[in-house]
Amino acid sequence: MIALNQVTKNFAIGPATSFTAVDNVSLTITRGSMTILKGPSGSGKTTLLALIGCMTRPSSGRIMLQGVETSFFQASEAAEGFDSSSLPERFLTEIRRSTFGFIFQQFNLIKGISALQNIMLPAYPTGEQQPVVKQRALGLMEQFDLLRHRNSPVEWLSGGELQRVAIARALINNPIAIIADEPTAHLDSQLSQAFMESIGQLKDNGKTVLIASHDPIVYSSPLADQVVEMRDGRIVRQEPLP
């Protein structure tokens, strides 16, 4: 479970330049659920995802992670959870690698290397054996119907294929949660539906899914367990009500 308690994120703290991107947000995301953050551009969705995914720290408030086991957090303590917002940077690196899988709006795949290498990339810093990682990557390519592109440079792939490579890459370290920021922004309706089907499979497999989107195909999806509407950094509506 991910629990946000009165989380605020200010940028450029100072009397003249301060900007509050996320303002006093409290939210609970249960394990294995799908949560959609919706709202207009600049409403704080991406910042909130970055806070949850340990890519930035809050200015105030706490973010608790429960049911997450790491090398530094012993299993016996797992039930209580730990506060990811207070963790030193060296621990956050491990959380980012092992707990969250990220799917970005622009996919952020690396041109010039193959789809297979792109998928394997997040596993390199973990020190895991290459053949084991490769086997897992090939398994994911098979799951997302990408095997025939295993050796193709990513610039040869279509929009939908790029999207699926990005999903496979997010899953390579077998994370607990998938975080996707506007994943359908560059896709047509058919590919967006296909994306939601893929994400639905991940949810069925027990992954926690968190998506920021203002695409109706995403936030109106019957797969969503919780839809959180944001505006000016605040939660203005939440369905179902907490």
Partner 1 sequence: MIQHPAILALMTASLIVSGLLLYAGWFGIRILKNWDLASGSELQLNLERRTYLIATIMSYALLFQIISLFLYLYTADGLHILFTGAMCAAGTLQVNSYGYPTLILKLINCLLAGCWLIVNHADTRGYDYPLIKPKYVLLLGLVLLVLAETVLQFNYFLHLKGDMITSCCGSLFGSDKPSIAGELAGLPYRIMRPLFFSTMAVLACCGIRLYLKGTGGYLYAALSASAFLVSLAALISFIGLYYYELPTHHCPFCILQQEYGYIGYLLYATLLGGMVSGSSIGLLMPFRRRPSLAPYLPRLQQRLVLLSLACYLLFTALVSYRMLTANFRLGG
AA identity, residue 39: G
Q: Which residues are CB-contacts of 56 (< 8 A; sequence separation ≥ 6)?
A: 9, 47, 50
CB 5, min distance to partner 1, A: 6
**Residue ranges of the alpha helices (H) in the chain?**
45-52, 89-98, 115-120, 130-143, 159-171, 189-204, 216-219
Q: Which residues contact 76 (CB under 8 A, 6 or more apart)?
A: none
The distance of closest approach from Cβ of residue 53 to partner 1 in the complex, given in angstroms and rounded to an integer, is 18
Contact positions with partner 1 (CB under 8 A) in 82-101: 82-83, 85-91
Give the separation between CA 82 and CA 207, rounded to whole angstroms.
19
Residue 5 makes contact with partner 1 by CB under 8 A: yes
Binding of residue 20 to partner 1 (CB under 8 A): no
Task: Give the residue with the Cβ less far from partner 1, 85 or 98.
Answer: 85
Residue 8 neighbours by CB distance under 10 Å: 16
Beta bridge partners of residue 4, listed in sequence order: 27, 63
Residues 6+ apart with CB under 8 A from 24: 6, 7, 8, 61, 234
Give the interface segment with partner 1, choosing from 72-80, 123-131, 171-179, 223-231 (CB under 8 A).
72-80
Closer residue to partner 1 in complex, CB, 93/106: 93
Query: Contacting partner 1 (CB under 8 A), which of 18, 19, 40, 60?
Result: 60
Report the alpha-carbon distance of residue 36 to residue 181 in Å, rounded.
10
Considering the rule CB under 8 A, would residue 72 count as an interface residue with partner 1?
Answer: yes
Q: Which one among 12, 14, 15, 74 touches partner 1, defined by CB under 8 A?
A: 74
171-190 residues near partner 1, rule: CB under 8 A: none
Nearest distance from residue 215's CB to partner 1, in Å? 32
Amino acid 126 reads T
Nearer to partner 1, 44 or 183 (CB): 44
Shorter beta-carbon distance to partner 1: residue 72 or 124: 72
State the residues that interact with partner 1 by CB under 8 A.
5-8, 57-62, 72-74, 77, 82-83, 85-91
